[in-house]
Amino acid sequence: MSGDANHFALPTLRFLTCGSVDDGKSTLIGRLLYEQKSIFDDQMSALERDSKKHGTVGDDIDFALLVDGLEAEREQGITIDVAYRYFSTKKRAFVVADTPGHEQFTRNMATGASNADLAILLVDARKGLLPQTRRHAFIVSLLGIRDVVLAVNKIDLVGHDPHVFSSIVKDFETFAERLNFRSVTPIPVSARYGDNLSEPSQAMPWYTGPTLVGFLETVEVRDRRADGPFRLPVQWVNRPNLDFRGYAGTVAGGRVSPGDEVAVSASGRTTRVLRVIASGHDVEAAEAGDAVTLTLADEIDIARGDLLADPKARPPVADQFAAHVIWMSEERLLPGRSYLMKIAEKLVPVTVTDLKHRIDINSLEHNAAKTLGLNEIGFCNFATSAPIAFDPYGKNRDTGAFILIDRATNATAAAGLVDFALRRATNIHLQDLAVTKAARAALKHQKPAILWFTGLSGAGKSTVANVVETKLHARGVHTVMLDGDNVRHGLNKDLGFTDADRVENIRRVGEVAKLMVEAGTVALCSFISPFAAERRMVRELVEPGEFVEVFVDAPIESCIARDPKGLYKRALAGEIRNFTGIDQPYERPEHAEVVLAAGEATPEALADQVIAALEERGIIQRF
Amino acid sequence: MPGRLSAHLRRLESEAIHIMREVVAEFRKPVMLYSIGKDSTAMLHVAQKAFFPAVPPFPLLHVDTTWKFREMIAFRDDAAKRAGMELIVHVNQDGVRRGISPVASGSSVHTQVMKTEGLRQALDQHGFDAAFGGARRDEEKSRAKERVFSHRSEAHAWDPRNQRPELWHLYNTRIRQGESMRVFPLSNWTEFDVWDYIQAEDIPVVPLYFAKERPVVRRDGALIMVDDERLPLKSGETPEMRRVRFRTLGCYPLTGAVDSDADTLDAVLAEMRDSTTSERQGRLIDSDEAGSMEKKKREGYF
């Protein structure tokens, strides 16, 4: 434990190391920790033991083993995750994010970069720039890191040759012209032997620049957020008693003092700050990075997720915007599917309305794409279900960054960076309608609803739906039928059966069904609709209670046996691809309002179950 | 006054406060694991600031192995009282009935039954869906890769290969029914930061951290304090009075003391600056084998 982080002139430097596999990242960090005496005797003896067992450098100490923490990666000899390391020199404290070089783990590199001030890009002197180096440089640039060190490692293995070094530097500078770096500092190093890490290398008299540690100790990467306009995403409302109502959160931009005017972004209302509480005390001022609690002069409606801002420099408020996304999930991005977006403290349903292009991170070219897979980067238009306040990521990382969460698995599916609003929400006014849904329904003496029949092909959805509609019609209920096959002959005849097209198919049908509900009718929809996410999307288009999910649950064997359209036969023969139940999954509904055990009862009996459920829910009158 | 904290500590404190508020805003029933040590003590202090003027809106939980130093237990009860928070003490009664102890059962069985299983019992029994822990990433290799919000399955298991990426300060707090989250607000603090914070904020800590004459025996190279009559002395062992202190606190038969004259915070900090061993060296449970912490964590150890 050298150094005392609390008396340094410069703030703690957070940096990440990245580069291709075997470029020596872990060795570099292990060596830095070793040289800065951040490795204790007991850790050192554990390292010597481990080096004999797992090491890859003969009898020498394998510094990489210090940082390759988890058992699995030690056995495979790779780093599979982000590891955070802490060390300090006499001048400065450091937090290092060690990130993996394998392509499939690019998401972890973006994770490490998201909180870093600076990046060290490692290049193996023998190999020069690799595709992976370019990818990482691009991600680092995309995530807003402006200063990079190009560490040309293993320089000892090319005889400390200055020409090898300068040619790699030239290659990188040419590539980096298209990126958004403020500074690139090239340093030739040998992580294994410590050349140019803390001490200038005797073997490279031709190199007169700083050592790596010397550079890191002095580089200034000022956090400019405090200079920007005031931003406070409200995280939690503190109401211990009737006399105190405080809005707690971490200042994301600018400064705040008692007496300042602030605006609530969503409503536009303004008020004045009474007290600023930080670290458990009243303070005169707080700035970006401080966790605070504010009390305000007026009682106005403010909740978690609202953004308090400088009224003279308000953030854009929009429900449609363009953003870059880094896809981090095995499940592909599907335009039209509903995800949860978390931006600042706001959680809101969102869909990708248009995938503009995918970025080839080797050539930086823009390519047309229908979906994004794991580790792919795209540029998309988004639509949120409610307007949100934000800043472009380039202006403020805290109010311009978001994550997407998969609604079925809760996995973090993507990281996003907002570029700009597509149109201001304040400009879109929904047309106020003189005749309401309730008025239209009242004229028909009925309650509108969507009856959503889902299940495998051949389960009997359309058959049961037809009987239900006949029964409803006989009772004088105004109905309309949207059937999967029929819709594909008209409205959706441009769509196929890929995951992306299936999502769009359901989105359109959902919107049509919603219009039918607006018209006061009962819309019966019969669609395989294999994905839970899309069924939920339709459910959320209408009011609670208006969506009735009917799961026609037939075992796949009986569907294959029944095979009314001969489709299973062809799918099993490989003539039809993307067939649900055969080579595409069907996600069973977990909370359907009605579950019909198909195959055991007649369509007539199944339809009666649906009618009974509708009576029970008050959608139709009991006779 | 807040001005006392350096910019470095202020940033760490703000980050920890942000994490705690996120949990309170998003989870149904959080709890704070309170292990009585310096990290827990710093964490509790941050929590009081995070929710000021309210009292932190969650209880404290101590999983008592029944082998803690007596001074720890006294300190624990005082600390909860000072904070005005509810303190839940859980003992794995099944383990007690089975006679599990670090002396009779060995360190790894004792830790598994009394700490890991005890913790799981307490979390299940009270239905907590989020639990704060004072662990820091600089403590141990597998900790270095753990998330701030660490997802646990219904069986409390940790899957290091399937962790959610954690970007910026955007924490994905979504869980399913029965699942839970372990949350580590001090993830980015170092041992040094914790002590510095304790000094700057003048926070009381268990006196065991300061040097004093204490009865100890030397066992497997470690100095073990004879805290009560339950520690059976091996032949040739006689307790001797030595001036010692502890860098880390656990079950007393499993925690090694170090020779020291540091009897004030200043002296402790000065000693640490010159230290050449890590704090976990005093923990006998980690040295069983490499990767032992990771194994324990997968099974639900904090």
pLDDT tens-place string over residues A551-583: 999 888 888 888 888 888 888 888 888 788 888
Q: Are residues A575 and A609 in the same domain?
A: yes
- Mean pLDDT, range B93-122, rounded to an integer: 88
- Confidence check: pLDDT of B232 > 90: no
DSSP structural state of residue B117? I
Q: Which of B131, B116, B115, B249 is nearest to B185 (CA)?
A: B131
Q: Which tops the pLDDT comparison, A310 or A361?
A: A310
- Lowest mean pLDDT segment, chosen from A169-178, A220-229, B190-199: A220-229
Question: Residue A209 has what pLDDT?
Answer: 93
Sign of CA dihedral A35, A38, A40, A43: negative
Q: Which residues of B touch A86 (CB under 8 A)?
A: 137-138, 188, 190
Q: Which residues of B touch A67 (CB under 8 A)?
A: 141, 144
CA A196 to mean position of chain CA atoms: 38
Q: Which residues of B touch A403 (CB under 8 A)?
A: 167, 170, 172
Structure tokens at B218: 């030397």
Q: Nearest CB to A279: which of B8, B49, B138?
A: B49
- Confidence check: pLDDT of A464 > 90: yes
A84 contacts chain B (CB < 8 A): yes
Question: Residue B7 has what pLDDT?
Answer: 84
| Residue from B12, B141, B184 whose CB has the most chain A CBs within 10 Å, to mutate | B141
Q: Nearest CB to B25: which of A72, A110, A236?
A: A236
Burial category of B136 from C-beta neighbours within 10 Å (exposed 0-12, middle 13-18, buried 19 and up):
buried
Question: Residue A3 has what pLDDT?
Answer: 42
Q: Can you tell me the distance from the alpha carbon of B24 to that of B56, in angstroms, rounded to the nearest whole number?
A: 9
Q: Which of A266, A144, A244, A155 is nearest to A202 (CA)?
A: A155
- Mean pLDDT, range B139-160, rounded to an integer: 81
DSSP structural state of residue B239? -
Q: Which tops the pLDDT comparison, A260 or B255?
A: A260
Structure tokens at A346: 């706001």
Structure tokens at B279: 């704090």
Q: What backbone phi and psi angles, to 5 degrees, belong to A466? A: -60, -45
Q: What backbone phi and psi angles, to 5 degrees, belong to A533? A: -60, -40
Sign of CA dihedral A535, A537, A542, A545: positive
Structure tokens at B222: 């470690």
Mean pLDDT, chain A, whole residue set: 86
- Lowest mean pLDDT segment, chosen from A509-513, A582-586, B28-32: A582-586
| Residue from A279, A304, A391, A393 whose CB has the most chain B CBs within 10 Å, to mutate | A279
Last residue of a domain, one of A222, A255, A280: A222
Which residues in chain B are classed under CATH 3.40.50.620? 2-202+291-299
Q: How many residues does chain B have?
A: 302
Neighbouring residues of A436: CB distance < 8 A, sequence distance ≥ 6? none
- Minimum CA–CA partner of A328 in chain B: B165
Structure tokens at A372: 């994004």
- Mean pLDDT, range A609-614, rounded to an integer: 93
Q: Do B188 and A95 touch (CB under 8 A)?
A: yes
Q: Are residues A449 and A489 in the same domain?
A: yes
- Lowest mean pLDDT segment, chosen from A555-564, B136-145, B170-179, B240-249: B136-145
- Minimum CA–CA partner of B137 in chain A: A84
In a domain, A623, yes or no: no
CA distance A606 to chain B (A): 32
- Mean pLDDT, range A286-305, rounded to an integer: 93
Q: Do B7 and A250 touch (CB under 8 A)?
A: no
Q: List, in sequence order, the alpha helices (H) in A359-424.
A: 397-400
SS3 content of chain A, % helix, strand, coil (to 5): 30, 30, 40
The 3-class SS string of A116-144 reads: CCEEEEEEECCCCCCHHHHHHHHHHHHCC
With contact defined as beta carbons under 8 Å apart, do A577 and A620 qualify? no
Q: Do A81 and B175 touch (CB under 8 A)?
A: no
Last residue of a domain, one of A277, A309, A341: A309
- Confidence check: pLDDT of A2 > 50: no
Q: Tell me which of A265, A526, A529, A558 is the catalytic residue.
A: A529
Q: Can you tell me the distance from the alpha carbon of A209 to that of A221, in angstroms, rounded to the nearest whole number?
A: 19
Question: Residue B273 has what pLDDT?
Answer: 76
Question: Residue A101 has what pLDDT?
Answer: 58
- Minimum CA–CA partner of A241 in chain B: B54
- pLDDT, tens digit, 9 for 90 and up, residues A472-526: 988 889 999 998 888 888 898 888 888 888 888 999 999 999 999 999 999 999 9
Question: Residue A430 has what pLDDT?
Answer: 47
| Beta-bridge partner residues of A350 | A339, A384
A89 contacts chain B (CB < 8 A): no
With contact defined as beta carbons under 8 Å apart, do A234 and A248 qualify? yes
- Mean pLDDT, range B77-97, rounded to an integer: 93
Q: Are residues A259 and A159 in the same domain?
A: no
- In DSSP notation, B68-112 reads B-HHHHHHHHHHHHHHT--EEEE--HHHHHTT--HHHH-HHHHII
CA distance A159 to chain B (A): 34
Q: Do B55 and A49 touch (CB under 8 A)?
A: no
| Beta-bridge partner residues of B214 | B242
Q: Can you tell me the distance from the alpha carbon of A395 to that of A391, in angstroms, rounded to the nearest whole number?
A: 6
Q: Do B141 and A398 touch (CB under 8 A)?
A: no
In a domain, A140, yes or no: yes
Q: Do A111 and B10 touch (CB under 8 A)?
A: no
The CATH architecture of the domain made up of B2-202+291-299 is: 3-Layer(aba) Sandwich (3.40)
Neighbouring residues of A163: CB distance < 8 A, sequence distance ≥ 6? none
Q: Are residues A209 and A296 in the same domain?
A: no
Q: Which of A82, A78, A106, A93 is nearest to A21 (CA)?
A: A78
Question: Residue A50 has what pLDDT?
Answer: 65
Question: Residue A76 has what pLDDT?
Answer: 52
B51 contacts chain A (CB < 8 A): yes
In single-letter form, the type of residue at position B78 comes to D
Question: Residue A429 has what pLDDT?
Answer: 41
CA distance A39 to chain B (A): 8
Q: Are residues A394 and A498 in the same domain?
A: no
Q: Which of A138, A118, A110 is nearest to A415 (CA)?
A: A110
Q: Nearest CB to A72: which of B161, B166, B168?
A: B161
What's the pLDDT band for A60 if we cut at 50, 70, 90?
A: low
What's the pLDDT band for B278 if we cut at 50, 70, 90?
A: low
A408 contacts chain B (CB < 8 A): no
Question: Residue A75 has what pLDDT?
Answer: 52
Q: Are residues A262 and A214 in the same domain?
A: no
- pLDDT, tens digit, 9 for 90 and up, residues A594-607: 999 887 788 999 99
With contact defined as beta carbons under 8 Å apart, do B85 and B40 qualify? no
Sign of CA dihedral A80, B131, B301, B80: positive
Torsion of CA B218, B219, B221, B225, to 10 degrees: -60
- Lowest mean pLDDT segment, chosen from A72-86, A430-444, B70-84: A72-86
Contacts with B, A 458-517, CB within 8 Å: none
Within 13 Å and on the Cβ side, how many CA atoms surround A390? Answer: 34
- Confidence check: pLDDT of A4 > 60: no
- Mean pLDDT, range A15-26, rounded to an integer: 78
Q: Which tops the pLDDT comparison, B194 or A67?
A: B194
- pLDDT, tens digit, 9 for 90 and up, residues A376-389: 999 999 999 888 99
With contact defined as beta carbons under 8 Å apart, do A65 and A56 qualify? no
Contacts with B, A 243-262, CB within 8 Å: 244, 246, 248-250
CA distance A353 to chain B (A): 23
Q: Are residues A411 and A514 in the same domain?
A: no
CA A247 to mean position of chain CA atoms: 27
Residue A88 is among the residues annotated as catalytic for this protein: no
- Mean pLDDT, range A459-468, rounded to an integer: 92
Q: Are residues A284 and A350 in the same domain?
A: no
CA distance A43 to chain B (A): 7
Cα distance between the two ends of chain A: 81
- Minimum CA–CA partner of A116 in chain B: B168
Q: Are residues A356 and A483 in the same domain?
A: no
- Confidence check: pLDDT of A529 > 70: yes
Mean pLDDT, chain B, whole residue set: 86
In a domain, A432, yes or no: no
CATH of residue A548's domain is 3.40.50.300
Contacts with B, A 379-398, CB within 8 Å: 397-398
Question: Residue A40 has what pLDDT?
Answer: 59
Q: Element (H or E) spanning A572, and its range?
A: helix A567-572
What's the pLDDT band for A78 if we cut at 50, 70, 90?
A: very low
Last residue of a domain, one of A167, A193, A222: A222
Q: Do B9 and A81 touch (CB under 8 A)?
A: no
- Confidence check: pLDDT of A6 > 60: no
- In DSSP notation, A272-310 reads EEEEEEETTEE-S-EETT-EEEEEESS-----TT-EEE-
Between strands A317-327 and A236-241, the pairing is: unpaired
CA distance B229 to chain A (A): 31
Question: Residue A67 has what pLDDT?
Answer: 60
Q: Which tops the pLDDT comparison, A370 or A62?
A: A370
Q: Do B145 and A280 touch (CB under 8 A)?
A: no
What's the pLDDT band for B230 if we cut at 50, 70, 90?
A: confident
Q: Are residues A395 and A525 in the same domain?
A: no
Q: Nearest CB to A84: which of B10, B137, B167?
A: B137
Contacts with A, B 144-183, CB within 8 Å: 144-145, 160-161, 163-170, 172, 174-176
A346 contacts chain B (CB < 8 A): no
Helical packing angle, B265-273 and B191-201, nearest 10°: 160
Contacts with A, B 187-216, CB within 8 Å: 187-188, 190-193, 196, 200
- pLDDT, tens digit, 9 for 90 and up, residues A47-57: 666 666 655 55
- Confidence check: pLDDT of A79 > 80: no
- Minimum CA–CA partner of B51 in chain A: A238
The 3-class SS string of B119-179 reads: HHHHHHHHCCCEEECCCCCCCCCCHHHCCCEEEECCCCCCCHHHCCCCECCECCCCCCCCC
- Lowest mean pLDDT segment, chosen from A17-21, A322-326, A543-547: A17-21
Neighbouring residues of A290: CB distance < 8 A, sequence distance ≥ 6? A250, A251, A278, B10, B14
Q: Are residues A456 and A587 in the same domain?
A: yes
B232 contacts chain A (CB < 8 A): no
Q: Which of B251, B133, B253, B270 is nearest to B210 (CA)?
A: B270
A136 contacts chain B (CB < 8 A): no
Q: Are residues A206 and A301 in the same domain?
A: no
A409 contacts chain B (CB < 8 A): no
Q: Which of B180, B174, B37 is nearest to B120 (CA)?
A: B180
Domain that holds residue A246: 225-309
- pLDDT, tens digit, 9 for 90 and up, residues A407-457: 888 999 999 999 998 865 554 444 556 778 888 888 888 899 999 999 998
B53: cis peptide before it, omega within 30°? yes
Q: Can you tell me the distance from the alpha carbon of B145 to that of B138, in angstroms, rounded to the nearest whole number?
A: 10
B292 contacts chain A (CB < 8 A): no
- Determine whether the annotation assigns residue A98 to a binding site: yes
Q: Nearest CB to A69: which of B7, B10, B144?
A: B144
Structure tokens at A95: 């937090």
Domain count, chain A: 4
Question: Residue A540 has what pLDDT?
Answer: 86
- Confidence check: pLDDT of B137 > 60: yes
Question: Residue A43 has what pLDDT?
Answer: 62
With contact defined as beta carbons under 8 Å apart, do B239 and B217 qualify? yes
Cβ pairs A/B, distance under 8 A: 183
A231 contacts chain B (CB < 8 A): no
Q: Nearest CB to B52: which of A82, A280, A304?
A: A280
